Structure 1
Amino acid sequence: MKRQAYTAKDVMSSGPYSHAIDAGEYIYVSGQTAKNSLTLEKQDLTIEEQTEECFKNINRILNELELTEANVVKANVYLTGMKHFERMNEVYKTKFTEPYPARTCVAVFELPLGADVEIEVVAKR
C-alpha cells in the first residue's frame, strides 16, 4: 500500500507526523488541538473555543482532500477531564448531522501544547 500524506495550510504539526494519510478508501486525520492552528491569536481559550478550533483545523485538512465533515465515519476525542464533556459536546453536536459518526471519548492526564481537548477523525471517500 502506498501512503499519501497531506498537509493543510494554517495548521502546524507538533511532532513528526502528517496531518492526514490517504490510505485509499479511508483518510486518517491526526489529532488536532486548538494550538495546532497557525492563525490562533487568543491563547486562553474555553473548552468550547478549543473544540471549535479543533474542528477548524480538521476542516482545513479535510478540504485539502476535497472532503467535508460529512465524510467522517469515526472520531476520537481526548479530554484532560470529563468535567469538559458536556461543554465539548455542545460544540461537537453542531459539527455533524445524523447519523453521527462513531465516537470514542476518553479522559487523559495531559495533551500536547497545553490543550484540554484533542480530536482525531477517520473519513471515507
Structure 2
Amino acid sequence: MEKQIINTPQAPAPIGPYNQAIKAGNMLFVSGQIALHPETNQLVMDDIVSETHQVMQNLQHILSAAGMTFSDVVKSTIFIMDMNDFSRINEVYGQYFSGSFPARETVQVAALPKGVNVEISVIAAQ
C-alpha cells in the first residue's frame, strides 16, 4: 500500500519528527493538533473555547488538504489537561460535525506539548 504525506501551510508545521498526516489507501491518519496558529506560530490560549476552535480549524485544514472533511472522520482522540474543561471542549468539538459523530475517547493527561490544554487527533476514511 502506498502512503502519501499530507502537509499544508494552513495548519501548523510539525514541531518534531512527524508529518501533519499520512494517507494510506482510503485512510487518513492525522497527527494530534494543538492550538498553534499557522500564520503567527503563536498559541491561541485565551480560553478553552478559543483554544479548542483553533485545534479544530487546524484539523479541518489538514482534512481539506487530503480532500476530506469532518464527515469522513471515523475516530478521534481528545487529550485534555483538566477534565473540568470537558463540557466546553465537547461543545466546540460537536460544532464541527453534522449528523453522525465518529468513535472517540477522551483522556486526561499530565502534560501536553507547549503547555496547551487540549490536543486532538483524528482518523478519517473515504
TM-score bracket, shorter-length normalisation = over 0.9
- Percent identity of equivalent pairs: 35
Range 99-108 or range 39-48, more displaced: 39-48
| Aligned equivalents of 1:14, 1:61: Cα separation in 2 | 15
| Aligned equivalents of 1:84, 1:39: Cα separation in 2 | 26
1:66 has 2:62 as partner: no
Q: Which residue matches 2:125?
A: 124
Could you give the per-residue CA deviations for residues 37-71 of structure 1, whole angstroms, max 9, x where no partner exists?
32256744211111100111111111111111111
Structure-1-length-normalised TM-score: 0.92
1:3 has 2:37 as partner: no
**What is the 5 A alignment of 1:102-121?**
102-121=103-122
Which runs of at least 4 in structure 1 moved beyond 3 Å after TM superposition?
40-44
Unmatched 5+ stretches in structure 1: none
- AA of the residue aligned to 1:9: P
Q: Which residue matches 2:57?
A: 56
| Aligned equivalents of 1:32, 1:4: Cα separation in 2 | 19
Q: Which residue matches 2:77?
A: 76
1:13 has 2:37 as partner: no
| Aligned equivalents of 1:55, 1:71: Cα separation in 2 | 14
- Give the direction of change, closer, same or farther, for the CA distance of 1:76–1:44 in structure 2 (3 Å limit): closer
- AA of the residue aligned to 2:55: C
Alignment RMSD: 1.4
Q: Secondary structure at the match of 1:13?
A: coil
- AA of the residue aligned to 1:7: N
Unmatched 5+ stretches in structure 2: none
